[in-house]
Structure formats: C-alpha cells, structure tokens
Amino acid sequence: MLFEQTTLLLHMFKNTLLQAVDAGAAELRRFFNGSFTITSKGSINDLVTEADHASEKAIFSVIQKNFPDHFILSEETGALPQNSDIKWIIDPIDGTINFANGIPICCVSIGVEQKGKMILGAVYNPFMNEMYIAEQGQGATLNDKKIQVSDKDNLLTSCLVTGFPYQYLDTANGPLQIFEKLIRKAIPVRRLGSAALDLCWTAAGRFDGFYEHKLQAWDSAAGFLIVEEAGGKVTDLQGNDYSPYQPGIIATNGKIHQQLQSVINGGSI
C-alpha cells in the first residue's frame, strides 16, 4: 500500500511538473522577439525581463493549484517556505540574456526535491521543441526517447561547455584561467549562455563535459539530475558529491571527469 501511494504521488508530481513547464514555456513563446520590459538585478548584464516574471507567475499558478502546501524556491521571487519535505526549484527563464536578445537558446527549468534529494527534473526549450525529463532511478529522456552521455575517454578530444559569472571571480584557477588552459590545447569549449541546457546537452552526449564556477540552485537543480540519470557524473569543483546549494559544478560523461577536475584544480593537461 505504501509503495502504491508513493508511486501515485510521484505520478502526480510529474504531471504537475510537466504542466508547470508547459505553462512557463507558453509565456516564453508569447514574449519572444516582442516588446517587453528589461531591468537589471545587480550588475549591468544580470537581467530580468517581463517574460521572466510572467513565466514564473504561470509556473507558480500550476504548482500552487495542485500542491498549495509545497515549498517553492524560484530565481525571481526567492524562497516561499512551507512546512513540507517537497521543494520546487524553479528557473522561469534560464538564459535570460539570450532570450532578451532574440537568441533561442533558453529554457524553463524545474527540479523537484524531496527531503534534500532531487527526485524529478524537467528542462524545456520551446524554441527547439526539446523537453528533457529525468526521474530518480528511471533514466533521462529527450522528447520521450532515452538519452545517455557520450563515451569519450580523453579530455584532449572532448567537446566541452562552460559559462562565466556576471561578476568575475578573480581567484586562482578562475574561469578565464581554466578556459585559457583548455583552449591552448585546442580543446573546443563552447558557451551557450544557459547552464540548464549545458547540462542537458551533456546528458544527451552533445558535450562530453560541463563546468562552471558560480551557479545558483535553480540553474542546476533539474539539469544535474538529468545528467546523472543519463549515466553521467556530477560533482562540485573538488570532486565531492554535488549539491545545487553550493556554486561550483563539474558534469561529465564520467570517463573524462577526473581529467577535467584535475585541470580545474591547477593540474596540467
């Protein structure tokens, strides 16, 4: 009976997750390449748009209709605490700068956490019609087809992706130092401008690895589960178990993980 109740609840969570992602994506489509307000949240290029707020409002409406007592953590509103062991971690538009400039590399990202463990994640880019979904222990899919990470085992022949913080981290082995080290060895390193999609494209085998020095929980909550469920490995920059509540991330196919981690921590290639 307990198993059946748990399965039913998970099914309800998943249905709500998909409805919420669709609701947010509808707002992205409505505003894309149109006229909308844009403001800065801190640094000059840390933007929030009218579409971010509209997407977030639509997502909240779906979740709170179905689960009004659940905890919500979202990029624009912050935390809406509840006495619940379920938390919805939301990025209404991941890749806001891309969105604001009419670049269709952006998405809605929502992770569902239970008692500190990510159990569901969905990332949807409506402009490429790509829906990534992962359920703990059940694998990951792209548009309902199973995906898995790549099988490259040599960092030198890998294709990587990264991102840079809005306020540069002037530290040893910082973003530019690592980027320079990699590209001096002719390793292709891309920058899409959406950490959630970086993770999904790593899960799908398009990239062999992703790293970034400074993310927020809503950037990676869904994507890191998608990578793990696609057979990949995700850690912090030091190789410890990953938590979206700390800033650094390495996500790879697993086979190049140690090599990339070594370079990020000052090792040579």
CATH 3.40.190.80 domain residues, the chain: 155-264
Choosing from 94, 113, 135, 229, which is the catalytic residue? Answer: 94
**pLDDT one-digit tens code per residue, 179-221:** 999 999 999 999 999 999 999 999 999 999 999 999 999 999 9
Q: Model's pTM, two decimal places?
A: 0.96
Among 52, 135, 198, 219, the one annotated catalytic: 219
Q: Where are the CATH 3.30.540.10 domain residues in the chain? A: 2-146
Burial of 225 (0-12, 13-18, 19+ CB in 10 A): buried
> Which of the following is catalytic: 63, 93, 105, 119?
93
Mean pLDDT on 8-19? 94
Give the mean pLDDT of 22-42.
Answer: 93
Q: Of residues 27, 52, 56, 91, which has the active-site annotation?
A: 91
Active-site annotation holds for 235: no
What number is the average pLDDT over the span 165-173?
A: 80
Tokens of 122: 């969905």
Among the four given CATH numbers 3.40.50.2300, 3.90.550.10, 3.40.50.10860, 3.30.540.10, the one describing domain 2-146: 3.30.540.10
Q: Is 96 designated active site?
A: yes
Concatenating the DSSP letter of every residue in the chain gives -HHHHHHHHHHHHHHHHHHHHHHHHHHHHHHTTS---EEESSSTT-EEEHHHHHHHHHHHHHHHHH-TTSEEEETTTEEE--S-SEEEEEEEEE-HHHHHTT----EEEEEEEETTEEEEEEEEETTTTEEEEEETTS-EEETTEE--------GGG--EEE---SS---STT-HHHHHHHHHTTT--EE--S-HHHHHHHHHTTS-SEEEES---HHHHHHHHHHHHHTT-EEE-TTSPBP-TTSS-EEEE-SSSHHHHHHHHTT---
Q: Which CATH class is domain 155-264?
A: alpha beta
Is residue 219 annotated as a catalytic residue, yes or no? yes
Starting at the earlier edge strand, list the strands of the sheet with 189-190. Answer: 189-190, 160-162, 209-212, 249-252, 233-235
pLDDT at 39 over 60: yes
pLDDT recorded at residue 13? 97
- Does 93 participate in catalysis according to the annotation? yes
Choosing from 49, 96, 202, 235, the catalytic residue is 96
Active-site entry in 27, 52, 56, 75: 75
What is the model's pLDDT at position 6?
73
